[in-house]
Structure 1
Amino acid sequence: MLYLITNRKIIKKDSFIKVIEDAVKGGVDVVILREKDLSYNELLPTAVKLKNILDGYNIPLIVNGNLDVAKNIKASGFHTSFDRFIKEKIEFKGLLGVSVHSLEEAMISEEYEANYILASHIFETECKKGLKPKGIKMIEEIKRNVKIPVIALGGINHENIDKVLSAGADGIAVMSYIMASEEPFLSAKKLKMKINEFLSKK
């Protein structure tokens, strides 16, 4: 499974919607709308437009952070931070995803009935400059201890994706690799081909 996490601020060309649509055509399986600085009124029109397009491709849209928008557009899922997930009893009819940064957080998220976890950050990445990456060991540890899907995030590209998949990740998530790409379609296609190659050898 190939997840795309959006970031409108790093797009180099074309519109926000076009980059995402091209990525979906290239092989993205799930889109996480993560524009956390936007208010409800600012995010809603984009979310509606994006969901209408993704529905046409039968691609799930998960909204990060803005629960009201997720509910309003009947998104496939809602994604949140670990702290918010354990502090609030989030009620949402759909997938509930949680960002985790340790084995302990992953195990607690499963116990609190998350549907999947986003584990980061695996490799060095511009998004987390100066923060030491967790490495693929974290994926291996989490996979040994939880049963829900584990999606790896952070600095993943076509050259290191095999390491992440070999560690047992159920999917990978990328942001800048696609959102900041000059060719989002080709970037997504490269990653999807690597995933398919890996699965065909299993």
Structure 2
Amino acid sequence: MLYLITNRKLIKKGDIYSVVEKAVLGGVDRVILREKDLSFKELFFIANKLKLILDKYNVPLIINSNIEVAKSLNSQGFHIGFRNVKNNKVKYDGLLGISVHSLKEGILAEKYGADYLLASHIFETNCKKGLKPKGVGLIRRIKANVNIPVIALGGINEENVKIVMNAGADGIAVMSYIMASDNPYISAKKLKEKLEGLN
């Protein structure tokens, strides 16, 4: 399972729509729209347009953080950071993903109703400069204690994807590897081929 997390500010050429579509053609299975700086109206506009593209390929659109946009659009999923889960409850009629950074968070997130966990950050990444990575041990620990898919995030590329999957991850998520790529289609294809070669 290959997840793409968007960040329109990393795009070198084209726009968020063309980059996401190329990535999906290259093999991305799910797209998490993560543009936290946008207002409801701005995010809804982008999400709506993206959903029309993704629906053509039967790829779920997961909205990060903004539950109002997710509900208004009736998007296939909603994603939230563990710290933002209020009173141990998140209700969404669709896929629910929660970002976790420790075993404890992973166990609790499953209890809170998550359908999948995004565990990070595994390797060093420019998105988390100066922060020590958790390593694949985090994947092993969470996988041993939960019954839902664990998706690894953070500094993952075609060179280290095998290490992550061998640690028990059910899939990977990338941001800059595809969003900042000169060729999002090829970048996604490389990762997808690596993942399929491990199955």
Shorter-normalised TM range: over 0.9
Equivalence for 1:178: 178
Equivalence for 1:64: 64
Q: Per the alignment, in what secondary structure is the counterpart of residue 131 of structure 2?
A: coil
The alignment's TM-score, normalised by the length of structure 2, stands at 0.98
Q: Deviations over 1:107-147 (max 9, x none)?
A: 00111111111000000000000000000011011111111
Equivalence for 2:190: 190
Give me the whole-angstrom Cα distance separating, in 2, the residues matched to 1:86 and 1:197: 40
Structure 1 segments of 4+ aligned residues over 6 angstroms from their partners: none
Q: Deviations over 1:72-127 (max 9, x none)?
A: 11111100010222436322110111000000000001111111110000000000
Structure 1 segment 42-191 matched on structure 2, within 5 A: 42-87=42-87, 89-191=89-191
Give me the whole-angstrom Cα distance separating, in 1, the residues matched to 2:15 and 2:42: 16
Q: CA RMSD in A?
A: 0.8
Identical counterparts, % of pairs: 63
Give me the whole-angstrom Cα distance separating, in 1, the residues matched to 2:122 and 2:29: 20
Residues 88 and 112 in structure 2, CA contact (< 8 A), matched pair in contact too: no
Equivalence for 1:18: 18
Tell me the matched-pair count.
Answer: 199
Distance 1:76 1:30, change over 3 A: same
In the alignment, structure 1 segments of 5+ residues that lack a partner are none
The alignment's TM-score, normalised by the length of structure 1, stands at 0.97
Give me the whole-angstrom Cα distance separating, in 2, the residues matched to 1:79 and 1:198: 27
Q: Per the alignment, in what secondary structure is the counterpart of residue 123 of structure 1?
A: coil
Match for 2:136: what amino acid?
Answer: I
Residues 86 and 112 in structure 1, CA contact (< 8 A), matched pair in contact too: no
Residues 150 and 169 in structure 2, CA contact (< 8 A), matched pair in contact too: yes
Displacement of 1:71: 0.5
Residues 90 and 113 in structure 2, CA contact (< 8 A), matched pair in contact too: no
Match for 1:73: what amino acid?
Answer: L
Give me the whole-angstrom Cα distance separating, in 2, the residues matched to 1:190 and 1:167: 20
In the alignment, structure 2 segments of 5+ residues that lack a partner are none
Give me the whole-angstrom Cα distance separating, in 2, the residues matched to 1:198 and 1:105: 28
Equivalence for 1:2: 2
